Amino acid sequence: MSLVEFLQIWIIAFFTLSLFSFLYKDNPFYKLAEHIFAGLSAGYYVGLIWESVILQQMIDPMFNNGKWWLVFPGILGVLMFSRFSKNYSWISRISLAFVMGTTAGIFLVSELHGKVLPQIQATMKSLDPSQGFAGFILALIIIVGVISTLIYFYFSKEHKGALGGVAKVGIWFIMISFGAHFGYTVMARISLLIGRVQFLIDDWGGSIVQLFS
Amino acid sequence: MGEVLAYIGLVIVGVFLLYKTFKTDDRRYIYLAVGIFVIFPFFIPLDIPVIVSPETQQLYDAVEALPDSSTVLLTFDYYASALPETEPMSRAALHHLFRKDCKVVTLTTIPLGGPSISEDVTREMAEIYGKEYGIDFVNLGYKANYVAVLKGMGSVIDIIYPTDNSGTPLSEIPMMKDIKNYSDIDFIYVVSDNGIVDYWMSIVNAQYQIEVGCGVTAVMAPKYYAYIGSGQMTGLLGGMKGAAEYERLIGKKDEATKGMGAQSLVHLFIIFSVLAGNIIFFFERRKRFNQAGGAR
């Protein structure tokens, strides 16, 4: 293990343990790690955007490849900074209008074509018993689940009588969905902890062993 | 026998810490218990069988069905904070793809860590399989504004990515000579820890009809089952468990498989804690009810 790798591992271990120390109580090590992370992220992000967007996609093509028309999106970008002035902040709306217009145009098609229609289609299940008992039950669950959940979110009429009954079934489906989400969330968070523990045991532990061997 | 005794000791410690939590209302005992349950299997391994889910099998089969030397776009759409869940997926995917001699194009839509993670992991895996940069794999790196990136790559990739991650113009990279846009890509393998998956589905899969398979963090997995149900997504890996399943399918037991012992143990502890907490809650409510003379 080289000296650089060794230092790298110890710095990572220091920040990992500093952040974990918050579980005991708030302390200066946790705050130090938190602030360094925020500062580094901001600095890294600025550098990356400067390199990959401003230089690579605007300045280089403009001056090296003659793509002079890139000056227009550049101006739109500069106009966004007018938001810092009370008197001229309205100018930034020109850029925002452009962003909103293009975003709406792209998403109108993609959301409808890629999400809404295929998902509606996927809930239109056949209840034909010839597909087998399991298939029939799964289709039935999807149909009942979709309809009852939609009815739960129908607020134009008071949830009483038959409507209230179906809405209650909808609540059960929503609760089961929350349960599944919670279970997966636990798994995700534990996975992150496992990752850190793996690092501390294998890498940091290994470097400590090497230090004393 | 020693291992069994150790695990019995662990259970006793877990129950004691849970008891202390309920007694003192101090959640730090729970943190300590979870910490011990996570660390323990690394010293005394717990071998938990990994059962492959149909969604993982579907993704594996889809990659397996690709003709050798196909071009696959592999994304590293995740931050460093999600590495324990997502990196094993990327490694497993690269094992599978390089083994099949696929041409791999990697990119990221994540600025913080994404470019360096994709560079490091891909080069490390390429070395194992003797793959050469520019011939067998290319790392396009990061570009801001993922919607414009995903949409723009459908027309011409080198307008969005004039250079690769190291600054080499794409026109100088032999592998990229035949890869102009999505029509030259056979499969997209998205590994992500955020909502970018929605855009790979709605912009790329829906509009360019390319098969997209995904590996996502466990938090995200329930949401994306809907895409599996509708037949839009070709396979899904959910969290560390999904990665461990894929590792089993490709026959490379790695970090995710190692973590499954701790994962299972902590899950059992949490299930037990939830049950114990509820039982104690109902008992105490009944006790208060009886102390109040049975009247509400």
B294 located within any domain: no
At A1, is the pLDDT very low, low, confident or very high (cuts 50, 70, 90)?
Answer: confident
Residue B148: what pLDDT? Answer: 87
Q: Are residues B279 and B154 in the same domain?
A: no
Query: Tokens representing B292?
Result: 């109040």
Q: Are residues A152 and A106 in the same domain?
A: no
Residue B150: what pLDDT? Answer: 93
A75 located within any domain: no
Q: pLDDT tens digits for B52-78?
A: 999 999 999 999 999 988 999 999 999
Query: Tokens representing A79?
Result: 């106009």
Average pLDDT over residues A84-100: 92
Average pLDDT over residues B114-121: 90
CA-based nearest distance B66→chain A, Å: 24
Average pLDDT over residues B228-237: 93
| DSSP secondary structure string for all residues of A18-78 | HHHGGGT---HHHHHHHHHHHHHHHHHHHHHHIIIIIIIIIIHHHHHS--GGGHHHHHHHH
Q: Are residues B150 and B181 in the same domain?
A: yes
Q: pLDDT tens digits for A59-81?
A: 988 998 888 999 999 999 999 99
Contact predicate B224/B203, CB 8 Å: no
A24 located within any domain: yes
> Which residue on chain B is closest to A25 by alpha carbon?
B28
- Res. A39: pLDDT tops 90: yes
Q: Are residues A15 and A90 in the same domain?
A: no
Q: Are residues B133 and B263 in the same domain?
A: no
Residue A133: what pLDDT? Answer: 85
Q: Are residues A213 and A131 in the same domain?
A: yes
Q: Are residues B111 and B148 in the same domain?
A: yes
- DSSP structure class, residue B83: H
What SS3 class is residue B236? strand
B296 located within any domain: no
* B179 C-beta neighbours (distance < 10 Å), count: 19
A-facing residues of B in 179-198 (CB < 8 A) are 198
- Res. B50: pLDDT tops 70: yes
As for the ipTM of the complex, it is 0.86
Residue B295: what pLDDT? Answer: 55
Residue A151: what pLDDT? Answer: 94
- DSSP structure class, residue B4: H
Chains A–B, number of C-beta pairs less than 8 Å apart: 133
Query: Tokens representing A195?
Result: 């990752």
Q: pLDDT tens digits for A119-171?
A: 988 888 777 777 788 888 888 999 999 999 999 998 888 888 889 999 999 99
Residues in A closer than 8 angstroms to B255, CB to CB, are 195, 198
* % of chain A at pLDDT higher than 90: 63
- What are the beta bridge partners of residue B191? B76, B215
Give the sign of the dihedral formed by CA B105, CA A119, CA B231, CA B223.
Answer: positive
Q: Where are the alpha helices (DSSP H) in chain B?
A: 2-24, 28-43, 54-64, 83-99, 114-129, 146-152, 157-160, 196-199, 206-208, 221-229, 239-250, 255-291
- DSSP structure class, residue B44: S
B295 located within any domain: no
Q: Do B267 and A186 touch (CB under 8 A)?
A: yes
Q: Are residues B173 and B38 in the same domain?
A: no
- Res. B296: pLDDT tops 60: no
Q: Are residues A147 and A205 in the same domain?
A: yes
Q: Please give the tally of structural domains in chain A.
A: 3
Average pLDDT over residues A16-23: 94
Residue B57: what pLDDT? Answer: 97
Residues in B closer than 8 angstroms to A109, CB to CB, are 207
A72 located within any domain: no
Q: Are residues B71 and B137 in the same domain?
A: yes
Rg value, chain B, Cα = 24
Average pLDDT over residues B33-54: 90
Q: pLDDT tens digits for B159-176?
A: 888 889 888 999 999 999
Q: Are residues A129 and A111 in the same domain?
A: no
Range of the domain at B216: 54-253
CA gap B215, B92 in Å, rounded? 11
Burial class (CB in 10 A: 0-12, 13-18, 19+), B168: middle
**In angstroms, what CA-CA distances link A86 with A78, A83, A89, A98?**
16, 7, 6, 21
Domain containing B137 — which CATH number?
3.40.50
Residue A206: what pLDDT? Answer: 92
- What are the beta bridge partners of residue B213? B189
Q: Do A103 and B147 touch (CB under 8 A)?
A: yes
Residues in B closer than 8 angstroms to A107, CB to CB, are 147
Burial class (CB in 10 A: 0-12, 13-18, 19+), A17: middle
Q: pLDDT tens digits for B217-226?
A: 999 999 999 9
Q: Are residues A141 and A193 in the same domain?
A: yes
Nearest by Cα to B270 from B34, B1, B5, B7 = B34
Q: Are residues B14 and B102 in the same domain?
A: no
Q: Are residues A114 and A132 in the same domain?
A: no
B85 CB near a chain A CB, below 8 Å? yes
- Res. A174: pLDDT tops 90: yes
Q: Are residues A131 and A117 in the same domain?
A: no
Choose among B142, B206, B258: nearest Cβ to A113.
Answer: B206
CA-based nearest distance B13→chain A, Å: 19
Nearest by Cα to B255 from A5, A201, A181 = A201
Q: Are residues B204 and B162 in the same domain?
A: yes
- Res. B216: pLDDT tops 90: yes
A78 located within any domain: no
* B79 C-beta neighbours (distance < 10 Å), count: 17
Residues in B closer than 8 angstroms to A185, CB to CB, are 218-219
> Which residue on chain B is closest to A65 by alpha carbon?
B162
At B114, is the pLDDT very low, low, confident or very high (cuts 50, 70, 90)?
Answer: confident
- DSSP structure class, residue B100: T
Average pLDDT over residues B103-124: 90
B293 located within any domain: no
Q: Are residues B94 and B154 in the same domain?
A: yes
CA gap A116, A125 in Å, rounded? 16
CA gap B214, B238 in Å, rounded? 9
Residues in B closer than 8 angstroms to A145, CB to CB, are none
Beta-carbon contacts of A145 under 8 Å, excluding residues fewer than 6 positions away, are A170, A173
CA gap B80, B143 in Å, rounded? 17
Range of the domain at A41: 1-66
At B294, is the pLDDT very low, low, confident or very high (cuts 50, 70, 90)?
Answer: low
Q: Please give the tally of structural domains in chain B.
A: 2
> Which residue on chain A is closest to B266 by alpha carbon?
A190
CA gap A39, A41 in Å, rounded? 5
- Res. B253: pLDDT tops 60: yes
Give CA angle at B109 (B248, A15), nearest 5°.
Answer: 75
B121 located within any domain: yes
Residue B136: what pLDDT? Answer: 95
Q: Are residues B249 and B277 in the same domain?
A: no
Q: Are residues A153 and A137 in the same domain?
A: yes
> Which residue on chain B is closest to A56 by alpha carbon?
B162
Q: Are residues B70 and B118 in the same domain?
A: yes
In one-letter notation, the amino acid at residue B151 is K
Q: Are residues B39 and B77 in the same domain?
A: no
